[in-house]
Structure 1
Amino acid sequence: MSIAAAVISLVLLLSPKPWTGLAPIQWDYVDTRLCLAMASPLAAVLIAEMWHGVVEPSTLDSPSRFLAAAPLFLVLRQGLPRTLTWTDLSFALGALASLGILLIAPQNSGVDRVSSQFLNAIHYGDIALVLGALSILSLNWWRKDCLLVRIIKIAGLIAGLAASVLTGSRGGWIAMPVVTALILYVRSGNKSRRWNVLLPLAIMAILAGVYAFSPAARDRVSNISSDLIHYKQGQRDTSLGIRLQLYEAAANIVESHPFLGLGAHGFRNSMQSFADAGLLSPLAAQLGRGETHNQFFAYLTDYGIVGGLALLSIYVVPGVIFWKRLNAPTGPARRAALMGLTFVVAFWIFGLTVETFDLKTTVSFYATVIAILAALATCADKASRAARVSPQ
């Protein structure tokens, strides 16, 4: 779907303007910086692999999905905000659908963990969780919502939380307090003291309720401390212990090959040598052939600092754009900026414990949502500039 959207967007951009009704692109810093950021992962992968003399086509697919979102952003930003009001219920419906899939057609992913047939438990739980957050943030986005719409959006938050708990994706849970603190900081300025007190208490009550009434959630949280104890005792083949082993191996690679990494699949191909040296257990080496369980280490080990900076731009550039638009002149633009900032921060945290961009599905989801929310947060800039330059 992301490729189809990119192709359609390119056709619209290249078609005669009278046919499409789109104004000519007047590049500004937002267009330039976001498009360059979206292109940087693909450029970094190509630079590193050409340096090492092996360009692996399979490694180009996922980073190209970032670039594919650039035409979509440009087209949406040329449109008026009212053409994008269809996004209003999309996040709530997505969160509800994520829970519905787990209830109707679950795929077992281990003890007390479920997922779908098309996505593993970790990525599925993370996406469901962020959809729930965006659902509640979309309350009264374009207008004061009617009671039914409010119920749907609140249900979207609950569904996202429930789906995350069912998948047992602990890495995503780390994002909840950080995102909550961010939202409260941004929204507290124009709210009453009662709101600033009651909302954090309500959120804490929800999280406490999830922990109290979900044995699966309690077990997943308690496993963290037990894994650490076992790791210190030399029992390294636990969920957390394997990650720690892989992080140590990745740090060694970054230290020895800092600039352009090892090239395509460099981390995966080095697993046996680390196992032979005793740095990794056989199980950790086997799992490391699948992923590093950290998005930054994945880019740093294979593509070096060049890849790390490219990955960083995917978070920082949209994040700065959203941050600057938190005081936009229109309410919908301000809300889109807050939703976009929340989305970026959440995905950055997700990437600390799993490779978020190793799958085409997750890359496409991230890039497409960024394109939509960035267009919504900044389209007022285009409209105001067009009004200033239009003939009287």
Structure 2
Amino acid sequence: MKSKVHLLVTILTCLFPIICLSFGKGYNYGATPLFLCAIFLLKETRIALSVPQVKLISLVFGGYFLVFVLAMLVHGESASYIDQTSRIIMALPVLLLLICYPPKLKWLMISFMIGSIIAGCIALYQTQVQLMPRAFERWGPVGTTWWHKGYMPIQSGNIAMTLGIISLCFVLYFHKTKQTTWVIVGSLGALFGMLASFLSGSRGGWVLLPVALIYLVVSNTKFSLKTLTGTAVFLILLIGCAASNDVVREHLRLNEAINNISQYSNGDKNTSIGVRFELWKSATITIKQYPILGLSKAQRVAEREQQVAAGIIELYSGAETYHAHNEYIEALSMRGLFGLVGLIAMLVTPILIFMKNKDASHPKLSAVNQAGIAASIMFIGFGLTQVFLGHNSGMIFYSFIMVTLLALSIRLKQNHSQLTGQL
């Protein structure tokens, strides 16, 4: 019976990255059966709560959710205010499930690669065949279909980038263990995931990519100043070459970004980047006035309308309801200092656990921890220009990817410690 459950858990876990971007609502359909399985087996798997690192991550994730509950009560928000954030609580039973029934690691590695390749193929089809201006738009040439519904260029592009960077981590594992076939498949996965992000025009998804790549280089080579310098020079040249290419500039909307900044400096605020700058300016004012608990959604709209009327900021009609387009500013302005502390704790704690569990002598453990840290770096970067976790897709993807990698890291570390202790 246990072997059958183990196989089922492995299949459900592997399905998540595969179907995540296969269609617009893929992240929902991938997470739901895994959650239901975790709830069904909760009576058995709750024993995993005795593990110190599981207690820590449960406390941090639970604390992040409670900050939203506090803000809802203080600001008089409706229950829908905590709906998206509740996904992080839903992921905790999955964490327990995956520690008690860890999925087959090689299967999971391959599933990330397949999911990344699928994302790239979809992005190519949408932009080169359907001639959509950006991959992962909500609508196609014939309007919104079941396939397009649920996509968002920024969110989906960032998810694709994460799948790509995780695939790259697993490529390094297969290279070390001399599994050439999977090195090739994984390399395609890394390339297609990044290509999908590129075709989505999600510029924010590339902000901390150099940091993640430098981390992987340093982690997989003997550290030296020469190695670090060489990597930095390579990335600078790569970015410089890409930025000078017209096709790349078009898809990454670099020309648009440059023009937006120039227009903003000349007084035109109603551009993509100009609106972001004005939203950041508005949020900064709010943070100074309400630093501890922030404002409710309705109060923020009213504040922005007053700021527009006073000429402090410029926003076109309807933009007053937008989020701040920055995860950290959004947390501060809407939930105050409690919100920012909860957010940072949620993003940083997994990194600390992955670093604590790292062991260069254990290739599988090393691969999982590197994937977790690299993915965390990307999530931190997404928040600089987008409220990635403010969308259902972002919260589900972050929660389930993190608990999957954390569960594997914790379980592999336990097994390795027991083995070395016996030796």
Same fold, TM exceeding 0.5? yes
Provide Cα deviations, 1:130-157, integer angstroms capped at 9, x if missing partner. Answer: 2111111111537735333222111112
Corresponding residue for residue 67 of structure 2: 44
Verify the 8 A CA contact 1:59 1:264 in the aligned structure 2: no
Aligned residue runs from structure 1 range 19-38, under 5 A: 24-25=47-48, 27-38=50-61
Verify the 8 A CA contact 1:112 1:216 in the aligned structure 2: no
Verify the 8 A CA contact 2:48 2:54 in the aligned structure 1: no
Verify the 8 A CA contact 2:365 2:409 in the aligned structure 1: yes
2:118 paired residue among 78, 97, 106: 97
Query: Is there any run of 5+ residues in structure 1 with no aligned partner, and where?
Result: 16-21
Corresponding residue for residue 338 of structure 2: 306
Aligned equivalents of 1:147, 1:342: Cα separation in 2: 23
Aligned equivalents of 1:342, 1:123: Cα separation in 2: 18
Aligned residue runs from structure 1 range 157-172, under 5 A: 157-172=190-205
Report the Cα offset of residue 235 of structure 1: 1.4
Give the SS at the match of 1:227: helix
Distance verdict in 2 for CA 1:197–1:352, change over 3 Å: closer
Provide Cα deviations, 1:163-215, integer angstroms capped at 9, x if missing partner. Answer: 1221111111212212122222222327998x878766765665455445452
Aligned residue runs from structure 1 range 241-260, under 5 A: 241-260=274-293
Report the Cα offset of residue 85 of structure 1: 3.1
2:385 paired residue among 337, 344, 353: 353
Aligned residue runs from structure 1 range 282-297, under 5 A: 282-283=315-316, 286-297=318-329
Verify the 8 A CA contact 1:109 1:115 in the aligned structure 2: no
Distance verdict in 2 for CA 1:339–1:33, change over 3 Å: same
| Residue 189 (1) aligns with residue 212 (2) | no
Give the SS at the match of 2:389: coil
- For residue 78 of structure 2, what is the amino acid of its counterpart? E
Provide Cα deviations, 1:32-57, integer angstroms capped at 9, x if missing partner. Answer: 111112112220011122123x1322
CA RMSD of aligned residues (A): 3.2
| Residue 262 (1) aligns with residue 313 (2) | no
Verify the 8 A CA contact 2:173 2:367 in the aligned structure 1: yes
Give the SS at the match of 2:294: coil
Distance verdict in 2 for CA 1:35–1:26, change over 3 Å: closer
| Residue 240 (1) aligns with residue 261 (2) | no
Report the Cα offset of residue 277 of structure 1: 2.0
Report the Cα offset of residue 84 of structure 1: 3.6
Corresponding residue for residue 5 of structure 2: none
Report the Cα offset of residue 264 of structure 1: 4.5
Q: Identity of aligned pairs, percent?
A: 21
Residues matched between the structures, number: 380
- For residue 354 of structure 1, what is the amino acid of its counterpart? Q
Aligned equivalents of 1:232, 1:202: Cα separation in 2: 32
Give the SS at the match of 2:104: helix
Distance verdict in 2 for CA 1:268–1:102, change over 3 Å: farther
| Residue 315 (1) aligns with residue 334 (2) | no
| Residue 139 (1) aligns with residue 168 (2) | no
Query: Is there any run of 5+ residues in structure 2 with no aligned partner, and where?
Result: 1-29, 138-147
Instruction: Normalising by structure 1, report the TM-score.
Output: 0.86
Verify the 8 A CA contact 2:167 2:187 in the aligned structure 1: yes
Of stretches 26-35 and 181-190 in structure 1, the one that deviates more from structure 2 is: 181-190
Verify the 8 A CA contact 2:72 2:82 in the aligned structure 1: no
